[in-house]
Amino acid sequence: MAKRHPHQRPASPRTALPFRVRTLGRVEPRERYHSTLGTYHDDAMLTVCLSGAGRYLHRGVAAPVGPGTVGLVLPVGDPGILMTDPDDPYDHLYCRFAGGEALRIAHRVVARRDGRRFFTHPAWQDVSQVLLRALTWGRIHSTVRQGDRMTRPDAALAEALTLLDAPEPSAVPALTAERLRAYIDDHLADPADLAAAAAFFGVSKPHLCRVAKKQLGTTLQRAWQAAKMDWARVLLAEPSLSIGEVARRVGYRDPFYFSNVFKRQVGQSPTGYRRARLRAIHSPA
């Protein structure tokens, strides 16, 4: 057990749950002189800085805190002090937590960063969205009795830590427009499964969708669908293929749904497009 700091708050009851949120809240820029211990007791603390500036003081070293900075302070040794810059107060989310699995993940994430407790992380926006969603259910204070079952905030904590523990985009090849289009071309016969695409690239689905929209100028779903319809046009020029077979070859199990999508995208039904295409091919010059 970590040594008790003289300014620590009363301890929360121990928990046998894998994930348990002790406190959940937000420090907004109006708190110009905010400062707090990194964490308390045997709990860990997750923070995500949305804007502004501050610093984390630990053993005489000040780590800068700014937009995109993630903090994971473990219940080991000196907890350090987090404090805002009064000239540019930070806006940050915080979640103090316990739970065997939660602490194991937190230790693993920090160990990958050579023990650094505050760091930048490519999934910080996804993590902040998870915590902001959890805050819509209300702030949590450790003095409130929470029961012995996992709650929605506990599930949100599990999601946030999983995002931090996932392989980082920097560890895999860059998500370029060329790689995204190549993936689409290789999977024209598959349903447009964003989760499978994210797993292939080793990133979270929100990160994949955000980068794809920036790289392709449209959503990945729309780019995938457009490529499927382009390939369907080519296949429809082959009269030996039924409409159902064309649908299957572009990843649609239901020919009627495929026909509706094709008509919406192309302006003609597959049958109408095929007839027009064949007439154009066989008509005299």
- What are the tens digits of pLDDT across the range 113-160? 888 999 988 899 999 999 999 999 988 887 666 667 889 999 999 999
pLDDT at 143: 62
Residue 153 shares a structural domain with residue 208: no
Q: Are residues 83 and 212 in the same domain?
A: no
Q: Are 41 and 110 in the same domain?
A: yes
> Among 127, 128, 132, 118, which Cα is nearest to 65's?
118
Mean pLDDT of 220-243: 92
- What does the alpha-carbon distance between residue 166 and residue 181 come to, in Å, rounded to a whole number? 24
**Are 233 and 272 found together in one domain?**
yes
180 pLDDT band, cuts 50/70/90, is: very high
- pLDDT tens across 83-114, in order? 999 999 999 999 999 999 999 999 999 998 88
In a domain, 55, yes or no: yes
Q: So what's the pLDDT on residue 18? A: 96
Instruction: Count up the domains in the chain and report the number.
Output: 2
Do the beta carbons of residue 39 and residue 79 sit within 8 Å?
A: yes
Task: Kindly report, residue by residue over 262-285, the tens digit of the pLDDT.
Answer: 999 999 999 999 988 877 766 665
Q: Which residue has the higher pLDDT, 260 or 12?
A: 260
Determine contact, residues 250/187, Cβ cutoff 8 Å.
no
In a domain, 48, yes or no: yes
Residue with tokens 């392989």: 167
pLDDT at 41: 82
Residues 53 and 122 both lie in one domain: yes
- 231 vs 191: CA distance, rounded Å: 14
Is the distance from CB of 78 to CB of 117 less than 8 angstroms? no
On whether both 25 and 65 belong to a single domain, the answer is: yes
3-state secondary structure of 153: helix
Q: Which two tokens stand for residue 283?
A: 């008509």
Rounded (10°) angle between helices 205-216 and 124-135: 120
Write out the two tokens for 231: 């390939």
Domain that holds residue 102: 20-166
Distance of CA 6 to the CA centre of its chain: 37
Q: Is residue 8 part of a domain?
A: no
Q: Is residue 13 part of a domain?
A: no
Domain boundary among 166, 198, 228: 166
pLDDT tens-digit map of 46-66: 999 999 999 999 888 889 999
Tell me: the pLDDT tens digits for 12-51?
A: 778 899 999 999 999 998 888 888 988 888 899 999 999 9
pLDDT of 167 > 50? The answer is yes
Q: How far is CA 121 from CA 96, 99, 127, in A?
A: 19, 23, 10
